Amino acid sequence: MSAPAEPVKSAADREATAERLLRSSLEHSYEPAIDIDWVAPLVDGLWGIPQHRSSLYGTALWDGLTEEQRRTLTIHEVCAVARMGLWFEMILMQMLLRYAYDRDPRRLHVQYALTEVADECRHSIMFAKMTERYGVPDYAPRPSTHRLGKLLKTLGTGPAMFAGTLFVEEILDQFQRESMRDETVQPLTRMVNKIHVTEEARHVRYAREELIRIMPKTNRAQRAAARWFTALIACIVARDLVHRDVYAGVGIDRAVGRKAALANPHWQESLRWSARKLVPFLREQGIIGGPSEILWRKAHLV
């Protein structure tokens, strides 16, 4: 049975939600620079992410790695995924600032947008520090993705901005939520994930409600643009979620590793699993459907 459709939201609802989110931000926020023990030693025998979420899990390449190499690969993978998150957070901060720039700062929902910028700013520093602590390279997005990010932060507004944001936030949330509860995973990953999951729950609420509010006011062309924009973000993020250079960290040729990961049914299933709660919501909002759905299929998200 499918979940009941979310009710349409009014401007009064918007302020009430913002008030709740602002209160929750005061009560449940972290300062990663203080709340994470950055000098604690890493624990021998633990993983960067649960091993069944590795992009190579279940492949012949995985079988050919030693247990130690597999653990190392998952450390590179957690940092690569966080780097993709960081890339999007920088875009999101700019989109949120542009949104606030055009609005009355006395409105609580505008103050919440600014609060979210502050959260994302701490998250980006936290992800960067985690990568440094694990001692792995900076898995910056490819030049084409980097350039696309500049386009997104300049052009992304309205439904496309909130739907794209939801995509990145919700799939990361699913991976991180599972990982923070897994005792085979390094405490550093678990604490970073706990902080991120706690604060992102508010961002997801905010973006979902904004999308519900905006969609009835859009015309056909705006809806079509939002579908393509969101599908493009989803496809790029999902296909490059694990940077191809991570495989070199365990002696596997980057092209060979990437090819095996993209063809890996376990990894494809993980991607669909991470999007399973978001996809019905975006369909209900008219963001998934029509010709752009081909990108969602290509990325193994539906």
Tokens 């009430």 -> residue: 16
Residue ranges binding Fe ion (CB under 5 A): 120, 123, 169, 200, 203
* For Fe ion, the closer CB: 123 or 213: 123
In angstroms, the Cα distances linking 144 to 108, 148, 151, 234, 240 are 37, 6, 11, 15, 11
Residue 214 near residue 68 (C-beta atoms within 8 A)? no
How far, rounded to the nearest angstrom, does the alpha carbon of residue 57 sit from its chain's CA centroid? 21
Least separation in angstroms between CB 163 and Fe ion? 14
Give the pair of three-digit tokens for residue 113: 């947008």
* For Fe ion, the closer CB: 61 or 172: 172
CA distance 164 to 154: 14
* For Fe ion, the closer CB: 120 or 210: 120
Give the pair of three-digit tokens for residue 162: 């909130």
Least separation in angstroms between CB 56 and Fe ion? 26
* For Fe ion, the closer CB: 209 or 261: 209
* For Fe ion, the closer CB: 206 or 229: 206
Least separation in angstroms between CB 269 and Fe ion? 25
Least separation in angstroms between CB 220 and Fe ion? 30
Q: At what angle do helices 220-239 and 143-155 cross, to 10 degrees?
A: 150
Q: Which of 244, 162, 233 is nearest to 204 (CA)?
A: 162
Least separation in angstroms between CB 112 and Fe ion? 12
How far, rounded to the nearest angstrom, does the alpha carbon of residue 167 sit from its chain's CA centroid? 7
Length of the chain counted residue by residue: 302
Give the pair of three-digit tokens for residue 74: 């998952």
CA distance 111 to 114: 5
* For Fe ion, the closer CB: 241 or 261: 241
Least separation in angstroms between CB 204 and Fe ion? 8
